[in-house]
Structure 1
Amino acid sequence: MQSIDTRSRRYAAGYDGVAKFLHWLVVVLIAAQFVIGWTMPDIHKGTLPEGLIAWHLGVGATLIAAVVLRIVWRLTHRPVPASVSPLLRIVSHVTHGLLYLALIVVPVLGWANASSRGWSVKFFGVLPYPSISPEGSSVGHEMGDIHGALAWVLLALIALHVAGALYHRFVLKDDTLQRMLP
């Protein structure tokens, strides 16, 4: 049996395996969503959820589940904070908070838009999520436009997050980046 001190040092050195897995799963799902979103056909009245659109819905449903799990895990398994200046700690907290917010809001807006079109959003293509806006809802349709615009905000936040990790690695030369690497 490991001592508490050994577990604490291992935990302080980085995030645990579940946190890392969920982080990188979200990275892969987001990358897939952007590729699918950029290559799928435009959605108009009467568009059917087929092909890449169906893939976008399915990956989005998986993304929602992964982000919820990630947030629950993060709230119940807090890592030891990295040793950074108070200013960098504030920037980190704000950036992570905005990232989590965007990772929730962007997919939920897409889900609302799909619901307003009468499309089923299914986890792994099997388990249907409930409709969150009435079919034919003009507000639900508008959520699709907001979903698209906020996806660009999410992309900018991701770029800021990656830039921060690279700043830690190559400028500060600390171990912040390594905390999330496998």
Structure 2
Amino acid sequence: MRQDSLTTPAAYSSLARFFHWATVLLLAGQFAIAWTMPDVHRGTQPVGLIAWHLSVGMLILLLVAVRTVWRFTHPAPPELPSIPRPLAAVARLTHWALYLLLIALPLMGWANASSRGWPSFLGTLLPLPALTPEGSPFGHSLGDWHGVFAWVLLALVGLHASAALFHHFVLRDATLRRMLPASRDSA
């Protein structure tokens, strides 16, 4: 049975919801770019979709860094009391794994770009330093791991979204509604 508005736990703040949904939109765009851009080989230049992939990756890194600081300074609303402890623990682990990958993947891509001698920018204006020297085998290997962990991220995003839908349609609790834009603000 659905909880009414008097017993619905606090929603996430408007800013927390913005960070969440902005991350979702950027990730959707990033995966679309990654799946349609040409393969990266020796001599590939960072133009077209590859340049877009680099730029969106840096934007994701910036957004998630700010979001992480926000999360540490503004704790999430309390968990729903109806969620069993093991399930709550899996949810927390999944959330932190998502944060970790959302930071690690752009850093791996940046290091790989650096090893290829590609410049990195935040937006189109702010040049960023190289994370690895040009020709770095470590930077090149991070590019391979970047692709592997992108699939892990996609699987975790699918798990996260499936869990939200399970809560909404099967358990019929307020878990999903707490993150929807129409939810009321929490303090």
Q: Provide the TM-score with structure 2 as the length reference.
A: 0.89
1:100 aligns with 2:96: no
Superposed, 1:129-140 pairs within 5 Å as: 129-140=128-139
**Partner secondary structure for residue 122 of structure 1:** strand
Q: Tell me the distance in 1 between the aligned counterparts of 2:119 and 2:167.
A: 42
Match of 2:43 in 1: 46
1:165 aligns with 2:161: no
Q: Tell me the distance in 2 between the aligned counterparts of 1:61 and 1:97.
A: 20
Match of 2:69 in 1: 72
* Greater mean deviation of Cα atoms: 134-143 or 82-91: 82-91
Structure 2 unpaired stretches of 5+: 1-5, 182-187
Match of 1:22 in 2: 19
Deviation string 1:32-66 (CA, Å, 9 cap, x unpaired) is 11100010001111111000000000000100000
Looking at secondary structure, tell me which structure has more helix per residue.
1
Contact 2:110 2:131 (8 Å CA) reproduced: yes
Q: Tell me the distance in 1 between the aligned counterparts of 2:114 and 2:26.
A: 21
**Partner secondary structure for residue 43 of structure 2:** coil
The structure 2 residue matched to 1:62, chosen from 35, 59, 62, is 59
Deviation at 1:80, TM superposition (A): 2.1
Contact 2:114 2:134 (8 Å CA) reproduced: yes
Match of 1:177 in 2: 176
**Partner secondary structure for residue 94 of structure 1:** helix
1:123 aligns with 2:122: yes
**Partner secondary structure for residue 13 of structure 1:** coil
Which amino acid letter does the alignment assign opposite residue 110 of structure 1? G
Match of 1:156 in 2: 155
Q: Tell me the distance in 2 between the aligned counterparts of 1:24 and 1:126.
A: 25
Contact 2:10 2:78 (8 Å CA) reproduced: no
Q: Tell me the distance in 2 between the aligned counterparts of 1:42 and 1:141.
A: 14
Deviation string 1:98-128 (CA, Å, 9 cap, x unpaired) is 1111111111111100011111121112112
Q: Percent identity?
A: 54
Q: Tell me the distance in 1 between the aligned counterparts of 2:128 and 2:59.
A: 11
CA RMSD of aligned residues (A): 1.2
Could you list the structure 1 runs, at least 4 aligned residues long, displaced by more than 4 angstroms after superposition. Answer: none
Which amino acid letter does the alignment assign opposite residue 129 of structure 1? L
Q: Tell me the distance in 2 between the aligned counterparts of 1:30 and 1:129.
A: 21
Q: Tell me the distance in 2 between the aligned counterparts of 1:23 and 1:132.
A: 27
